[in-house]
């Protein structure tokens, strides 16, 4: 079974998650700069952060199934599991914004990031065990980047108890770090092509 339809469905959920988050932005009642800043300023920042995370997942998901286009029942459910956590981003982002970065909302946002990241690790594992999984294992190696992200999310949750705003720092750091595209898959494919020649 090829991954074409799995990718189409995932693209749909990710695209809608992004756009639904925009609905969480409160439209200002007044029409001055202050109204914009006060009503939507924080919302725009948290929207940007969550947008980048969804973009990262879309990019990595894209590379993942480019390498391993064959899926079985386990991969289908591992993928739905990932989409479940990603589909909650609009909710946890909206609460983060409405609470003006309260302690519990930061922790819940961090848990959402953490559980989505764990679901992605599970998805990678499910694919690596399936047909054609060797290529994924070789391309990702020990996946230090994936594991260190988990550490950053846990760190952010911990730091939130010191100060909620401080807890956001590791989340932003993870987003910026991943913004630099993960070239491991591209590099692997180039090496593979080179060694075949």
Residues that bind a copy of itself (CB under 8 A): 1, 5-9, 11-20, 22-25, 27-33, 35-36, 40, 48, 51, 55, 58-59, 62, 66, 72-74, 76-77, 80, 83-84, 87-88, 90-91, 94-95, 98-99, 102-105, 108, 179, 181, 183, 186
Q: Which is nearer to a copy of itself, 109 or 153 (CB)?
A: 109
Residue 190 has which token pair?
A: 């180039």
Cβ count within 10 A of residue 142: 8
Least Å distance between CB 9 and a copy of itself?
Answer: 5
Q: Which is nearer to a copy of itself, 151 or 158 (CB)?
A: 158
Q: Which is nearer to a copy of itself, 56 or 128 (CB)?
A: 56
Let me know: does 56 contact 178? Beta carbons within 8 Å: yes
3-state secondary structure of 68: coil
Quote the Cα angle for 188-172-35, to 5°. 135
Q: Which is nearer to a copy of itself, 38 or 151 (CB)?
A: 38
* CA–CA dist 2, 80 (Å, integer): 16
Least Å distance between CB 44 and a copy of itself?
Answer: 8
DSSP state of 28: P
DSSP state of 163: -
């Amino acid at each position: 079974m090829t991954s074409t339809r799995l990718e189409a469905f995932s693209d749909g959920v990710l695209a809608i998650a992004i756009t639904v988050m925009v609905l969480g932005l409160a439209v200002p009642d007044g029409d001055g700069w202050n109204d914009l800043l006060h009503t939507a300023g924080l919302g725009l920042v948290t929207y940007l952060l969550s947008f980048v995370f969804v973009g990262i997942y879309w990019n990595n998901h894209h590379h993942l199934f480019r390498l391993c286009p064959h899926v079985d029942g386990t991969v289908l459910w591992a993928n739905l599991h990932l989409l479940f956590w990603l589909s909650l981003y609009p909710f946890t982002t909206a609460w983060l914004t409405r609470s003006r970065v309260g302690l519990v909302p930061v922790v819940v946002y961090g848990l959402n990031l953490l559980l989505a990241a764990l679901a992605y690790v599970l998805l990678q594992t499910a694919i690596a065990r399936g047909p054609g999984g060797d290529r994924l294992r070789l391309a990702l190696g020990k996946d230090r980047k994936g594991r260190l992200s988990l550490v950053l999310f846990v760190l952010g949750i911990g730091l939130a108890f010191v100060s909620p705003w401080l807890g956001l720092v590791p989340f932003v750091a993870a987003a910026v770090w991943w913004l630099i595209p993960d070239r491991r898959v591209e590099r692997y494919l180039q090496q593979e092509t080179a060694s075949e020649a």
